[in-house]
Structure 1
Amino acid sequence: MSALKISVLFFLELVIQLAIVANSQELVLGFYNDTCPEAENIVNQVTALYIYNDSTLAPALLRLTFHDCFVRGCDASILLEPTNANNATEITAPPNLTLRGFEVIDAIKTKLEEYCPGVVSCADIIQLAGRDAIQTAYGASWVVLTGRRDGTVSLASEALEDLPSPYSNFDALKQKFEAVGLSVKDLVVLSAAHTVGVAHCPSFSGRLYNFSGEGGTDPSLDPNYAKFLKQKCPPNDQLTTVYQDPITPNKFDIGYYVAVDQHEGLFESDAALLDDNETRGYLESQLWTMGWTWLEDFGVSMMKMYKFKVLTGTEGEIRKKCGYVN
């Protein structure tokens, strides 16, 4: 083989190896320290301003992190608006119709584009804003690694298929969580995000008026709690909301576990945590210890979720506007 051919082959191999390294880049702490030093401060400041004006946006922004990550990984595909080419993006899927907080993400992106255009991904903004919103409203926090890039595909059909449903039994929940690299422990840990926020009546009214299609009330619900929910949500009520955690709805704590243990979990998916030995055991251990490890466990499980199948390196893109591909 000639020296020229060897040089060409060596060059091609080097290019391939560099591409592999670029596309396998890990998420890190402070990814933007050199390219956009004020990035995380800007996210925090804009998020805090919105939360001070409307604290209900905190659980809404946390919910947005989950709905993004469970479909295609955390790639901001949840933010893509319908277009003539694709009028059925994730945001149009029924499970996403009650999502809120998009204006916060857009405001953060606008500010960042002024400071360091084309650098910070919408996918990272979602994760940082979700954490910062909870920290501002409730004082709880966890580590967020950065370095994600934005996806270019968003399909309502995938959201319908991949997002856990409030009507899920334990087996269905386990399958959805395993599909994004999460364990049974992660399932019970992250389910406690329901300790804050509200839910619309249709997401649980089937338990009140037509459980199992037989016209009755779910027997696993505490009777007094079922009576309260019926008072709040008469049949066919589409607009009323109810706290997901009836014990401590304004604290980021284990009140949710207390409610589930007392058969006051709002969703069928909440009640399902009592149907498995591992999830019930974890729940009971947190009750015994007053939530001694829950917040730490929550941070660990969040990290597992937001690192799963993300785009890094040269994959995807950095959107100029979060609602549209470049």
Structure 2
Amino acid sequence: MSSTILLFLSLAVSAVASPLRPKFYSESCPQAEQIVRDVMKKAMERETRSVASVMRLQFHDCFVNGCDGSLLLDDTPNMLGEKLALSNIDSLRSYEVVDEIKEALEKACPGVVSCADIVVMASRDAVALSGGPNWEVKLGRVDSLTASQEASNKIMPSPRSNATYLIDLFKRFNLSVKDLVALSGSHSIGKARCFSIVFRLYNQSGTGRPDPTIEPSFREKLDKLCPRGGDESVVGGLDATPVIFDNQYFKDLVKGRGFLNSDQTLFTFPETREYVKMFSLNQSAFFDAFVEGMIKMGDLQSGRPGEVRRNCRVVNKRPGEALIDVDR
């Protein structure tokens, strides 16, 4: 049988993905989840902001051809990856934390744990370590063999997005309005650049004026942080408690103190406003809805052939050699 046919058969087998399930690595790498959490704890001790950055990776990965680790691939001469897509460049960070997790897992269980699963586990841990809910994640994903900057540009929303656009986007992935609002609560932790909001401060919708929905005293604070013509790489907290995962984000939206346009629009738009109000008053309801949304988002899969990468930044050197065994 020719090597080409053998490769085709290997790819075909890898495309028959095992159903995602909790404790997927209980036999093949029983310490996997503890290893991920330990590395995340160390990353958090070095830089608190890094855990929020890692959590965002799941959103940006799963919405583009499913949760397959495609976001982690570096560009090659033959492929423009997703790291430099419009919504990712100069925005996503902390890829080195994923590298650190992968290195630790490869030492413990070589070739077993996928990068796509690392992103999902690390996102959960980022929330739990910041004071948010903890939950059991389903695992068993495979890593993509390619990435697409074009696909990311077409799908991922910008900070200027309004609620109507976001509702339609989430609906494409069978995620409800409630899921949208709850998952937007990921902005309970972390920071964003002035670049993402200067238009709100000085030229909302091309009017040459600030966004009228910004509470006046908060706008004054943002004006000082992000002055016209200032350094747009300066960062500000996405809510008033940017290192604690809580429902302060929603309380801020009710007061007109949302940092991003795509956040504040959730309160100004009638279809999303009621969920914002509910979560602002009931943190437990927010936590429950957030966990439900994260699990649903984590279920997104492309069904395409994949592998378990040895290095999350590049596909394995010999295609077919490290493609997954569905019984692993």
User: Quick check: TM above 0.5?
Assistant: yes
Pick from 245, 248, 257 the counterpart of residue 252 of structure 1: 245
> Are the equivalent residues in 1 in contact too, given 2:87–2:157 (CA < 8 A)?
no
**Secondary structure, in 3 states, of the residue corresponding to 1:242?**
strand
1:144 maps to 2:137: yes
TM-score (structure 2 length as normaliser):
0.88
Which one-letter code corresponds to 2:212 in the other structure?
A: P
Q: Matched residues in 2 for 1:113 and 1:121: separation?
A: 10
Gaps of at least 5 residues in structure 2 are 1-8, 317-328
Q: Which runs of 4+ in 1 moved over 6 A?
A: 19-22
**Secondary structure, in 3 states, of the residue corresponding to 1:260?**
helix
Which one-letter code corresponds to 1:177 in the other structure?
A: F
> Are the equivalent residues in 2 in contact too, given 1:150–1:311 (CA < 8 A)?
no
1:319 maps to 2:312: no
**Larger gyration radius, structure 1 or structure 2:** 1
What percent identity do the matched residue pairs reach?
Answer: 39
Who is 1:161 aligned against? 154
Who is 2:232 aligned against? 238
Alignment root-mean-square deviation, CA: 1.9
Q: Matched residues in 1 for 2:149 and 2:14: separation?
A: 32
Closer, same or farther in 2 for the Cα pair 1:20/1:277, shift >3 Å?
A: farther
1:57-76 matches, cutoff 5 A: 57-76=50-69
Who is 2:301 aligned against? 309
Closer, same or farther in 2 for the Cα pair 1:175/1:137, shift >3 Å?
A: same
Who is 2:76 aligned against? 83
Who is 1:297 aligned against? 289
Which one-letter code corresponds to 2:220 in the other structure?
A: K
TM-score (structure 1 length as normaliser):
0.88
**Secondary structure, in 3 states, of the residue corresponding to 2:207?**
coil
Who is 1:267 aligned against? 260
**Secondary structure, in 3 states, of the residue corresponding to 1:90?**
coil
> Are the equivalent residues in 2 in contact too, given 1:185–1:278 (CA < 8 A)?
no
> Offset of 1:143 from its aligned partner?
2.2
Gaps of at least 5 residues in structure 1 are 1-15
> Offset of 1:254 from its aligned partner?
0.8
Closer, same or farther in 2 for the Cα pair 1:28/1:160, shift >3 Å?
A: same
Cα deviations across residues 64-93 of structure 1 (Å, max 9, x unaligned)? 11111111111111100011111x210011
> Are the equivalent residues in 1 in contact too, given 2:14–2:306 (CA < 8 A)?
no
Q: Matched residues in 2 for 1:245 and 1:123: separation?
A: 28
How many correspondences in the alignment? 304
Who is 1:201 aligned against? 194
